[in-house]
Chains A and B, each alone.
Chain A
Amino acid sequence: MIACGALAGNVREIAARRGWLVEVQPLPALLHNRPHDIAREAERLAGRALDRGQRAVLAYADCGTYGALDEVCSRLGLARLGGLHCYDVLAGADNMAKLFEAEPGTYVLTDFLVRGFRRAVLAELGLDRYPELWPDYFRHYRRLVWLAQHREPSLEREAQRIAEMFGLPLAVIETGTARLEAELERLVAQAVGRGGPGQDPGRMTRSLAWAAGPARAAGATGPAGAGGGAR
């Protein structure tokens, strides 16, 4: 499972909890600032896995590759997470569309971005070196929305600090990781169903059946959705 670094922590936790026989291979989340490299790096890791007789799936949405990841998937017979970005995976594409429709100037955070805002956003945009560029990047935003996977006090404080930097109101939507989990389950099921060289699909399926318990449908366990949890 080749995973975006921004999701890899959640992916590992879910895979371990579900007892999936997967090896999570993270790629740096900062590749998002150079999306062309995502497809290239994902293809490299997937090719290596396939050469070893493993199956591979991509724990990536389109992630700004504008179809390049889909081309890789099509070429190598891989599956990826649905949606345009991890926001869609976490909160649901329809909910995200509604958020942006209601306010195009919505700046979206996830737990990863809250935790790593200084490194992943400020430093990458050069704002540590050129703070005067702040308005060039952010002047059109009107609100911040934190899609919270795990709403913890420390993250909440950090999200609030980020909102203060923007001087904008913060809304929190508790998405949890249920949608991500459902999407990962789909990827794993597809990989198992597809079979592959040097694999024992039966063993993996048995393991999944043992670990998964009753299947959980997307959203059934309670991501709040675009309206829920906002404040």
Chain B
Amino acid sequence: MTPQELLKQLYDDTLVGNGPAVLELTHTGLAMNLGPEALLYEALIPALEEVGARFERGDFFVPEMLIAGKAMAGALEVLRPLLAETGAESIGTVVMGTVKGDVHDIGKNLVNIMFEGAGFQVIDLGVQVAPEKFVDAVREHSPDIIGFSAFLTTTMPMFKANINALAKAGLRDQVIVMVGGAPVTQEYADVVGADGYAADASAAVVRAKELLQRRRRAALPA
């Protein structure tokens, strides 16, 4: 198998979520001296981008996206320490969590997959995350972005509670706040004072990159 053939096969197997094959090809690629960055940027990430595009078009649904994400996650477990050794930097750090009172995390996990696929470092706090835990995570990890997820109309008000907690801790201006979840709208995101909202996982990555770029540009000396 040539390196190009391997990358193509890795792309194909990631696309269909063939976890064992993705893992094996990752090891084979490394053994063939294909660098971790080549495997990531020339096969895994393009495959995940295609998964996201198919999801947006309605060709893929949640199971296909999850299974592809899990396949990629297996490869990332192998590649992450190697990427760190090469000094490859993530394009940003994201802290994610489902808000207090809500155990739904499929949407959040899909967003995590797409963020990781796009090269972000993701710190997932899980479900039922209390405001003070989000505050602690911002203090500990200094993320560029914090994402709040809610699936229930009854738990959406926690967005505001989380944002208030960040403000009270003096951290609100240090982090971009994104919100999402099935019942969430741009209007609601505006009302609670979030910086960004996206309707689905792929759009979340696009929006996150825009917001990050805007913030970094604003931080440049005039």
Residues of A within 8 A of B (CB): 35, 64, 66, 84, 97, 100, 104-105, 125-127, 129-130, 132-133, 136-137, 140-141
Given A97-B154, A125-B62, A136-B66, answer yes or no on A66-B103 (Cβ-Cβ < 8 Å): no
Residue of B nearest to A64 (CB): B182
Given A64-B182, A140-B103, A141-B103, answer yes or no on A126-B153 (Cβ-Cβ < 8 Å): no
Cβ-neighbour of B17 out of A97, A130, A140 (below 8 A): A130
A126 touches B102 (CB 8 A): no
Is there a chain A Cβ closer than 8 Å to B128's Cβ? yes
Residue of B nearest to A127 (CB): B63
Residue of B nearest to A137 (CB): B106
CA distance A89 to B101 in the complex (A): 22
A130 touches B67 (CB 8 A): yes
CA distance A126 to B153 in the complex (A): 26
Cβ-neighbour of A84 out of B64, B66, B103, B153 (below 8 A): B153
Cβ-neighbour of B183 out of A66, A97, A105 (below 8 A): A66
A133 touches B103 (CB 8 A): no
B154 touches A100 (CB 8 A): yes
Given A97-B154, A133-B67, answer yes or no on A126-B103 (Cβ-Cβ < 8 Å): no
Residue of A nearest to B126 (CB): A140
Cβ-neighbour of B62 out of A97, A126, A129, A141 (below 8 A): A126
Given A66-B182, A136-B109, answer yes or no on A105-B103 (Cβ-Cβ < 8 Å): yes
A125 touches B63 (CB 8 A): yes
B103 touches A104 (CB 8 A): yes
Which parts of B168-222 form the interface with A (CB within 8 Å)? 182-183, 185
Residue of B nearest to A66 (CB): B183
Q: Interface residues of B toward A: which range?
A: 20 to 34
Cβ-neighbour of B63 out of A97, A105, A133, A140 (below 8 A): A133
Given A97-B154, A104-B102, answer yes or no on A126-B109 (Cβ-Cβ < 8 Å): no
Given A84-B153, A126-B67, answer yes or no on A136-B102 (Cβ-Cβ < 8 Å): no
Given A104-B103, A140-B105, answer yes or no on A133-B66 (Cβ-Cβ < 8 Å): yes
CA distance A205 to B187 in the complex (A): 43
Which chain A positions have C-beta within 8 A of B41? none
CA distance A105 to B104 in the complex (A): 9
Which parts of B98-139 form the interface with A (CB within 8 Å)? 101-106, 109, 127-128
Which chain A positions have C-beta within 8 A of B127? 140
* B59 CB, nearest partner CB in chain A, Å: 14
Residue of A nearest to B64 (CB): A126
Which chain A positions have C-beta within 8 A of B62? 125-126
CA distance A75 to B154 in the complex (A): 26
* A226 CB, nearest partner CB in chain B, Å: 15
Which chain A positions have C-beta within 8 A of B103? 104-105, 140-141
Which chain A positions have C-beta within 8 A of B66? 126, 130, 133, 136
Given A66-B183, A84-B153, answer yes or no on A126-B61 (Cβ-Cβ < 8 Å): yes
Is there a chain A Cβ closer than 8 Å to B80's Cβ? no
With A133-B66, A140-B127 given, name 7 new contacts (CB 8 A). Answer: A64-B182, A84-B153, A105-B103, A125-B63, A126-B63, A126-B66, A126-B67
Cβ-neighbour of A136 out of B64, B106, B185 (below 8 A): B106
CA distance A84 to B154 in the complex (A): 10
In the complex, 17 of the A-B residue pairs with CB atoms within 8 angstroms, ordered by the A residue number, are: A66-B153, A66-B183, A66-B185, A100-B101, A100-B152, A104-B103, A104-B128, A125-B63, A126-B62, A126-B64, A130-B66, A130-B67, A133-B63, A133-B70, A136-B66, A136-B106, A140-B105
Which chain B positions have C-beta within 8 A of A84? 153
Which chain A positions have C-beta within 8 A of B67? 126, 130, 132-133
CA distance A154 to B106 in the complex (A): 32
* A178 CB, nearest partner CB in chain B, Å: 25
Residue of B nearest to A128 (CB): B63
